[in-house]
Structure 1
Amino acid sequence: MRNTLSLLLFVCSAFSFSQQISSEKLTSFVNPFIGTGGHGHTYPGATMPFGMMQLSPDTRLDGWDGCSGYHYSDEYIYGFSHTHLSGTGVSDYGDVLLMPTNTVNFNNGADGKSGYRAHFSHENETASPGFYKVLLDDTNIEVELTVSKRSGIHQYTFPKNSKQIVILDLAHRDKVLSSEIKILSKTEITGHRHSDAWAKDQRLFFNIQFSRPYKKVTFLNDKTEGEMVKAAFEFDLSEVNELEIKAAISAVNEAGAKKNLEAEIGNKTFQQIKEEAETAWEKQLGKIEIETQNENQRTIFYTALYHTMIAPNLYQDVDGRYRGMDLEIHQSNDFENYTVFSLWDTYRAAHPLYTIIEKERTNHFINSLLAKHDEGGILPIWPLAANYTGCMIGYHAVPVIADAYLKGIRGFDAEKAFEAMKHSAMQDKLGLKSYKEFGFIPVEEESESVSKTLEYAYDDWTIAEMAKAMGKTEDYQIFSERAQYYKNVFDPETKFMRGRFRNTWFAPFDPYEVNFNYTEANSWQYSFYAPQDISGLINLMGGKTEFEKQLDKLFTAKQETSGRQQADITGLIGQYAHGNEPSHHMAYLYNFVNKPAKTQEKVHQILNEMYQNAPDGISGNEDCGQMSAWYVFSAMGFYPVTPVSNQYIIGTPLFEMATINLEDGKKFEISAENLSDTHKYIASATLNGKPLKRSFIKHSEIMAGGKLVFKMTDKPSKWATKDEEVPKTEITENLILPAPFISKGDVAFKNETEISLGIPISESEILYSLNNSDFRIYTKPFTISEETEFRTYASNGYGKESKILSTHFYKIDPNLSIKLETEYANQYNGGGENALIDGVHGAIDFRTGTWQGYHDTDLKATVDLGSKKGVQTVSINFLQDQRSWIFYPTEISCSVSENGTDFTNLPIQKIDAEKLSEETEIKTIEFEVDKNIQFIKISAKNFGDLPKGHLGYGGKAWLFVDEIEIK
């Protein structure tokens, strides 16, 4: 529950800033503080539509909820920096911080001691598109900020007779690689800041001009030139209490920053720039106009629309120069270069929204992505400031390009784009080698194997659709086959998408468990992801009735997760997690099973519960516009469940009227008659005066302009419930056979194990081979009792066959046993109770499932050899991956016994595990035994509390252990 007082103050603050602009202006309905609380990770400062500068206050120096540099719960402002990220889950930016104060003090105050930071109150803070204002309580200095695309103005009003000092801090937030402050005159400085954070080599240059000459400058450590990170500029006390600072940035060089400043601001006043910013935003927001009596919903909508227009960010100087992915300087006169593409998020709804209201800019986006391919060698996954971050999964630049092409947006080289798309898909990294070879990614080969398999399959379908449109028959066949690989991770017994571990299902299985098989999710949240072939997914689940039941279970399941903590899983309705992107299409899936009323009910609930006019009014990370794009689409009444399909699935409208003002002057109007909070169901609909009986509309229908009219009712109706009236996405050509799986059988076994095989599609037969014998048809379970090389594939009897899969079955000495006295984490079980004696060694990547993990728990185990044997050595392997909270044990002890009662302790071995390291390593600890024994006790002491200096300081360490070898 929100704190009532803080909410009241917030409402007052929102009211205050909205009154600064005429209520008739759309900008007055934007509340930049939405998303600055909770886990929204937005910032309230001044920026232009898709602009290069984000001039905003910094209230937080680190931590996950400090990704944007600002959090509504904070009480101190450290200063005002010129770059910020909107809604990301990783921190960066916060470059070139300025802070007005009244003392020369280079300490930022983060240690709680006196510094230049200042207390502030939300009562004295206002914001609107392109403008921000706050009063610093400690110094009584008023700060106002406004921007142009690449430049901005700070306006400080000091109290009379107080000292006027401005701190320039280039060390603020992330690691500084190089910095310099150059004095050009008493009113102009320039310099650079190169830094290492999420972007490992971000290069930024600046030009700063004061409205009055400073009288004194003090550098940190009294340096006057060279590597300087902080400076204090003192100005004369005079009748003039206002100081104006104009600043511009560039990724090219200092001259570029100055040129940006001169071209965009020059001699213009603060008020002129502020008005230009407001005008630009008014034009942007006017691309969609709504009519509603609900002022909160109006504010939520226009703030959401505003958030979709903050990123991607312009990354190019006024003269066309920009820094490319090779970190060299490039020139473009044909397109604007952009950065900050959060593609795993934004391909779903933000970029489809741009294909409607930002057609021309979409061409710039795609040309930017293609330029990054040319400069860096591959289409980016998550590009940031001329750096590949490699963040998230998939190659989702591909659907962005294909979606534009299929919608007729062609202001780019399509042949070049298609080759770049194929290039991304044909790599051997990030599990793609296994994906191409097996038709899925095995758990033991790559982390997040299920999610990657599913998202690669969707991306491949978009390549196939573009290939088909371009007449590329061979490519169409290859990628439409790959688009069906999602079938290979579907378990027909549980009806969930599951990891395939050595061709068995990863077990024990808990659909609520968040583990390394999924990306920021669990099986519930990925088992409905096959947007390219929803008909195929429905068939796998047993038909429409069974699919509907499974959807019902999703929304009514308990609102808890097990396994590892995942902060991104928020906004839960059952196991539907609106706070994270994999769930965003799910409420619309009821349309595909002839139950649009259920979609209408769920969409209405999400619109009203997951978005509020409050600081924590976004249920998860904003993610560069995706969370808001869902709202913009859904509030208008439809959503792109399958980008590239050119269809939008109808949900339920939130407003009486919404008008999309298209770039060619046409309008597409959506109106709802008899609409209310209870009248959320669609009774009937018309499109351009003709009955619309289907629960989807086409992209071409929107772009042609026209009127979509809904008549609403308070009860579910029969509208769009016939088979011919529901949407459909399906793959009907180049169909594949999924590969068989081992449904029963232990890959590492004692004595013998019974093997059962299965396949998601029943109309095919399974063939198998043991130890390279001829393949035979599988008819019933069989038993093996020796180490075996097993192979299997599926055939339909008409020449179509699946991939051939191999599994090596290991036989454990039947006399050998292990007793675990401490409990391992199920998500890191390594294969179960016998994982430490099964003969299978862990790989360097802990996520591949071969390690046994203990969280804040020691390992204590006893191995029984079955009888007395001569043993020379006992060894055990441990993993260190400190970036993932995995530390070596501090000490390992081993004791041996002939009878299980009297144990002899061997010398304890210790590891200097506290030394911080970026390396991932495996260490083998060996004990000399050289005697006849039967029992071996192993104990490994968990590191425990994570040390100071570690990102997870305050948390607990993991201990990862594998094979105990006895020789």
Structure 2
Amino acid sequence: MINRLKNSGLLYIMMLLTACSGVRNMDENLPSRYVNPFIGASTSVGAAEVYHGLGKTFPGAATPFGMVQISPNTITGGDNSPGYSYEHKTIEGFAVTQMSGTGWYGDLGNFLIMPTTGKLNIIAGKEDGSISGYRSNYDKDTEVARAGYYSVNLTDYGIKVETTAAPHSGMLRFTFPENKSSRIQIDLARRVGGTSERQYIRKVDDYTIQGWMLCTPDGGGWGNGDGKAKYTVYFYARFSKPLKDFGFWTADIPDSWTRKREEVVSIDYLNRVKEAAIVTGENELEGKHLGFYNNFETHKDEEVTMQVGVSFVDMDGAERNYKAEIADKTFDEISRNAAAMWDKDLQRIKVKGGTEDQKTIFYTALYHTMIDPRAYSDVDGRYVGGDYKIHQTTNFTKRTIFSGWDVFRSQFPLQTIINPTLVNDQLNSLITLAEESGNEYFERWEFLNAYSGCMIGNPAISVLADAYVKGIRGYDINKAYQYAINTSTKFGNDALGYSPAPHSISNTLEYAYTDWCIAQIAKGLGKEDDALRFHIKGQAYKNIFDQEKGWFRPKNADGTWEPWPENARTKEWYGSIESNPYQQGWFVPQDVQGMIELMGGIDKVLADLTEFFEKTPDHFLWNDYYNHANEPVHHVPFLFNQLKAPWLTQKWSRLICEKAYKNSVEGIVGNEDVGQMSAWYVLASTGLHPVTPGSTRYEITSPIFDEIEFQIDDKFFSGKNFIVKTHNNSSENVYIQKALLNGKPYDKCYLDFQNIVSGGKLELFMGNEPNKEWGLSND
């Protein structure tokens, strides 16, 4: 239904109101009504014009930072981390866990539930029809997604499916046709990008099953196994229909077979599963490829429900999560509760003005920043630690999925303003992982305890320093500081003063920045010797700047330069990761003035940076210049503020908001990256964005909205709210003419974090021509 995404925002809202009638009050003041989970819900490589694909978000039901996401899945193999891509024509089931916006090869997508009728099929089959199965075509015009709710009609079976969620549990409601052979079936082996290694299931009583699914690198998943993910999903599921005619299937998969990404969707593998034995008359079963079904008769439009509690700790935990959150609740009650959770969290930022589409893009972006880092501990605070033993939290929520290389740039600087508790949770989660695993250093891309080593740099140090200098300190800072030093020692520029091939530029620059971050913490702790040592290490970027070429150049371990190819600055992967030297070379956030001097002075750098943007294609998809589709350049539009040309920050940030984000499936030009792409939009569209996490400076730019109100957490800071108010703002009037801070003239193009969290009002007076005199004060 809400697939007409290129239509006006007003039509979108009207359609959503129609679909939601009788479910909840769609108060026009509630921000959740603007959430469109279809934005970014595609993995299409063709539409993205690059190997990374588009947003890779999922449209299914979730709660803010919740453990459970009940979402449709259209594909198992390939680089399709959310398990769903909008252009697919069939659905193979509804999983209870999903990843959001990740590149690499995805994971989760566990406990795949599918309602069917007629003959029992035990494989999903192929969308192209090359092998048949239980997957179903679906009617796009009936597909509805909103915050905490999803529904669709499966046309092959005539079944309407609705899903909703609670933090550790969820519920599905199926509206069946009249049929003597209706059923709900569950693929316990299924996993995005692979399979679980072993499964166990047992009947608890006439309405309930419980069990587990063990996932290891041998079954693919995260990074097709290279991400080293090892976890067990435990479930407790209750049906509204009694378990009278139920059974299992168990496939005999040879030990010699590889069970990863492409193998598990191959014809040979599917045919093997198709021959699985059907087991009846038993109440429990364990195996390496199991499924479960419950047959029943239905009358026309009969509603059948299924409730599921999930845990990563044990089966008792799944049952406790279920009982604490959804036992004895109706589907509509759970759906209303989910929407209320979203409205509470989305109101951390309130906006006025802008078009309907802009508000939809904004609140959907804010929604996407609240998927991860998700809860990993149960309702009682238990979690599985880095030693794979059970631990107990008392003062924080254990969280997982830390896409560090992405989210240190915008996602966590946003959360320091609107959700400092979450920042404390994440740091405690990283600290306990480092301790319990015995590694005693921070992981850069954590996934369910896995030290996956994905991407580069030491981003956890950035998140730590940013929190520390802003006064967010609900963790053991001494332990965290030691782990930060250990991390820098293990991954850094120490041996040579720079990092050699293969990613010499990217690694050297990123390690130099996070060493500077350590210096900021050391200053606060009174460790002057450390502060000086890490400040000097933060200058390592100078060691790979080739004065002859006038740019950063990869250096070999023996101190020689790598050959300089034709078009070196725009050659992707030349000394850089997922970028080129032109893009990566701007990453000296810790010493922008030093970078300017190194590059030849302000006039030369301003001209170069201006050309960098002017050569960027208007669609802002993957390109050799300002490549907003990937993270290395996300701070670059705000560098103009430090080049004494703040009007260019205003110009380009507004244009990026306009061109790189849309109210459509293709509305995110690159992978969502676990909240980073959306967090950039949230901050930029409100007129504030940092260049340097670990500093308290936020750059001022041109807001989209007439008024933005940040709710300040009074448990951490003195302010109640901070308001950004624009005057004479429009799509043409993008340039700041003058500013007032708390009623007094303000001529700086930046704010300090304390200005924000102490509460107050920033007023910006806008016009259609740059005021090249405003914002130049550094007093």
SS of residue matched to 1:168? strand
Which of 16, 31, 35 is the equivalent residue of 1:30?
35
Which of 317, 329, 339 is the equivalent residue of 1:278?
339
SS of residue matched to 1:437? coil
Tell me the equivalent position of 1:145.
163
Matched, 1:702 2:763: no
SS of residue matched to 2:210? strand
The gaps in structure 1 that reach 5 residues or longer are: 561-568, 726-967
Matched, 1:358 2:419: yes
Q: Do the aligned residues in 2 keep the contact of 1:16 with 1:126 (CA within 8 Å)?
A: no
Q: CA deviation at 1:493?
A: 2.7
Q: Distance in 2 between matches of 1:365 and 1:407?
A: 15
Q: Distance in 2 between matches of 1:495 and 1:187?
A: 71
Q: 1:178 to 1:572 in 2, by over 3 A?
A: closer
Tell me the equivalent position of 1:479.
534
Q: CA deviation at 1:718?
A: 2.4
Matched, 1:135 2:143: no
Tell me the equivalent position of 2:375.
314
Q: Do the aligned residues in 1 keep the contact of 2:732 with 2:768 (CA within 8 Å)?
A: yes
Matched, 1:441 2:499: yes
SS of residue matched to 1:154? strand
Tell me the equivalent position of 2:124.
108
Q: CA deviation at 1:236?
A: 3.1
Q: Distance in 1 between matches of 2:198 and 2:11?
A: 43
Tell me the equivalent position of 1:843.
none
Q: CA deviation at 1:548?
A: 0.4
SS of residue matched to 2:494? helix
Q: Distance in 2 between matches of 1:720 and 1:162?
A: 74
Q: CA deviation at 1:724?
A: 3.2
Matched, 1:226 2:231: no
Where do 1:483-522 residues align within 5 Å? 483-501=538-556, 502-509=558-565, 510-515=568-573, 517-522=575-580
Q: Distance in 2 between matches of 1:32 and 1:637?
A: 24
Where do 1:141-540 residues align within 5 Å? 141-161=159-179, 163-173=181-191, 174-196=194-216, 197-198=221-222, 199-220=228-249, 221-223=277-279, 224=282, 225-227=285-287, 228-238=289-299, 241-376=302-437, 377=439, 378-427=441-490, 432=492, 435-443=493-501, 447-501=502-556, 502-509=558-565, 510-515=568-573, 517-540=575-598
The gaps in structure 2 that reach 5 residues or longer are: 21-25, 45-53, 223-227, 250-276
Give the counterpart letter for 2:476 in structure 1. D
Q: CA deviation at 1:497?
A: 1.7
Tell me the equivalent position of 1:81.
95
Q: 1:499 to 1:175 in 2, by over 3 A?
A: same
Q: Distance in 1 between matches of 2:15 and 2:136?
A: 22
Q: Do the aligned residues in 1 keep the contact of 2:38 with 2:665 (CA within 8 Å)?
A: yes
Q: Distance in 2 between matches of 1:722 and 1:300?
A: 32
Q: Distance in 2 between matches of 1:437 and 1:255?
A: 49
Q: CA deviation at 1:504?
A: 2.8
Where do 1:854-869 residues align within 5 Å? none
Q: Do the aligned residues in 2 keep the contact of 1:450 with 1:517 (CA within 8 Å)?
A: yes
Q: Distance in 1 between matches of 2:413 and 2:32?
A: 23
User: Comparing both chains, which one has the higher relative contact order based on Cα–Cα distances under 8 Å and sequence gaps of 6 or more?
Assistant: 2
Q: Do the aligned residues in 1 keep the contact of 2:708 with 2:724 (CA within 8 Å)?
A: yes
Give the counterpart letter for 1:535 in structure 2. Q
SS of residue matched to 1:214? coil
SS of residue matched to 2:196? strand
User: How big is each residue's C-alpha offset from its partner over 1:586-635, in whole Å with a ceiling of 9 and x where there is no partner?
Assistant: 11111111111111111111010000000010011001111011101000
Tell me the equivalent position of 2:16.
17
Tell me the equivalent position of 1:798.
none
Q: Do the aligned residues in 1 keep the contact of 2:5 with 2:12 (CA within 8 Å)?
A: no
Where do 1:624-663 residues align within 5 Å? 624-663=674-713
Q: CA deviation at 1:721?
A: 5.2
601-610 vs 412-421, greater mean Cα deviation: 412-421
SS of residue matched to 2:581? coil
Give the counterpart letter for 1:77 in structure 2. I
Tell me the equivalent position of 1:817.
none
Tell me the equivalent position of 1:93.
108
User: How big is each residue's C-alpha offset from its partner over 1:336-381, in whole Å with a ceiling of 9 and x where there is no partner?
Assistant: 1000011111111111111111012221111111111111222121
Q: CA deviation at 1:186?
A: 2.4
Q: Do the aligned residues in 1 keep the contact of 2:13 with 2:33 (CA within 8 Å)?
A: no
22-31 vs 588-597, greater mean Cα deviation: 22-31
Aligned residues: 705
Q: Distance in 2 between matches of 1:335 and 1:607?
A: 35
Q: 1:323 to 1:642 in 2, by over 3 A?
A: same
Q: Do the aligned residues in 2 keep the contact of 1:684 with 1:719 (CA within 8 Å)?
A: no
Q: 1:35 to 1:240 in 2, by over 3 A?
A: closer
Give the counterpart letter for 1:41 in structure 2. K
Tell me the equivalent position of 2:69.
54
Q: CA deviation at 1:9?
A: 11
Q: Distance in 2 between matches of 1:508 and 1:706?
A: 52
Which of 731, 738, 755 is the equivalent residue of 1:684?
738
Q: Do the aligned residues in 1 keep the contact of 2:121 with 2:134 (CA within 8 Å)?
A: yes
Q: 1:293 to 1:721 in 2, by over 3 A?
A: closer
Q: CA deviation at 1:476?
A: 0.6
Q: CA deviation at 1:402?
A: 1.2
Q: Do the aligned residues in 2 keep the contact of 1:555 with 1:573 (CA within 8 Å)?
A: no
Give the counterpart letter for 1:684 in structure 2. K
Tell me the equivalent position of 2:606.
548
Q: Do the aligned residues in 2 keep the contact of 1:607 with 1:635 (CA within 8 Å)?
A: yes
Q: CA deviation at 1:503?
A: 2.4
Tell me the equivalent position of 1:717.
771
Give the counterpart letter for 2:173 in structure 1. Q
Tell me the equivalent position of 1:822.
none
Tell me the equivalent position of 2:633.
583
Give the counterpart letter for 2:82 in structure 1. S
Give the counterpart letter for 2:73 in structure 1. D
Q: CA deviation at 1:24?
A: 2.7
Larger Rg: 1
Q: Distance in 2 between matches of 1:676 and 1:257?
A: 51
RMSD: 2.0
Tell me the equivalent position of 2:48.
none
Q: Do the aligned residues in 2 keep the contact of 1:18 with 1:128 (CA within 8 Å)?
A: no
Tell me the equivalent position of 2:664.
614
Q: Do the aligned residues in 1 keep the contact of 2:13 with 2:34 (CA within 8 Å)?
A: no
SS of residue matched to 1:120? strand
Give the counterpart letter for 2:15 in structure 1. S
Q: Do the aligned residues in 1 keep the contact of 2:722 with 2:761 (CA within 8 Å)?
A: yes
Q: Distance in 2 between matches of 1:721 and 1:14?
A: 39
Q: Distance in 2 between matches of 1:293 and 1:364?
A: 34
Q: Distance in 2 between matches of 1:597 and 1:312?
A: 35
Q: Do the aligned residues in 2 keep the contact of 1:10 with 1:122 (CA within 8 Å)?
A: no
SS of residue matched to 1:255? helix
SS of residue matched to 2:583? coil
Q: More strand by proportion, 1 or 2?
A: 1
User: How big is each residue's C-alpha offset from its partner over 1:91-149, in whole Å with a ceiling of 9 and x where there is no partner?
Assistant: 11101110001031102022623211111122101111111111111111011111110
Q: Distance in 1 between matches of 2:576 and 2:403?
A: 19
- TM value normalised by structure 1: 0.71
SS of residue matched to 2:298? coil
Q: Do the aligned residues in 1 keep the contact of 2:176 with 2:299 (CA within 8 Å)?
A: no
Q: Distance in 2 between matches of 1:10 and 1:180?
A: 46
User: How big is each residue's C-alpha offset from its partner over 1:267-288, in whole Å with a ceiling of 9 and x where there is no partner?
Assistant: 1111111111111110001110
